[in-house]
């Protein structure tokens, strides 16, 4: 998390992290995330959707406000999270 401290010292207050489950999950667990944007494509929701986290894990996040929308055939879930440090 030292890189986040360094970016903050340099004046960076917003950062888009496009990572996999390990990177995103680590930042959320560390309390470094205040907003999440998740795009779900119809092909991933089918029987081959092994990369999706189980829905009950999302329920443990401290959701403050959520917005759903679509982007073509994809579903966009955007939510504010509480507890960011």
Q: How far apart are CA 14 and CA 8, in angstroms?
A: 9
Of 75, 77, 79, the C-alpha closest to 41 is 75
Count of domains for the chain = 1
Domain coverage including residue 47: 2-81
Most trustworthy range by pLDDT among 16-20, 53-57, 58-62: 16-20
The 10s digit of each residue's pLDDT in 62-73 is 777 888 898 888
The 10s digit of each residue's pLDDT in 21-53 is 788 878 888 888 888 888 877 765 555 555 555
Contact 9, 59 (CB under 8 A): no
Any idea what the CATH number is for the domain that residue 62 is in? 3.30.1710
* Residue 21 vs residues 12, 24, 54: alpha-carbon distances, Å: 23, 5, 12
Q: Determine how many CB atoms are found less than 10 A away from the CB of residue 20.
A: 8
């Amino acid at each position: 998390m030292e890189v986040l401290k360094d970016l903050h010292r340099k004046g960076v207050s917003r950062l888009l992290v496009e990572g996999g489950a390990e990177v995103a999950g680590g930042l959320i667990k560390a309390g470094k995330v205040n907003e999440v944007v998740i795009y779900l494509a119809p092909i991933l929701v089918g029987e081959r959707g092994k990369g999706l986290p189980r829905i009950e894990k999302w329920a443990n996040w401290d959701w403050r406000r959520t917005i759903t929308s679509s982007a073509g055939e994809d579903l966009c879930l955007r939510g504010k999270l509480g507890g960011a440090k």
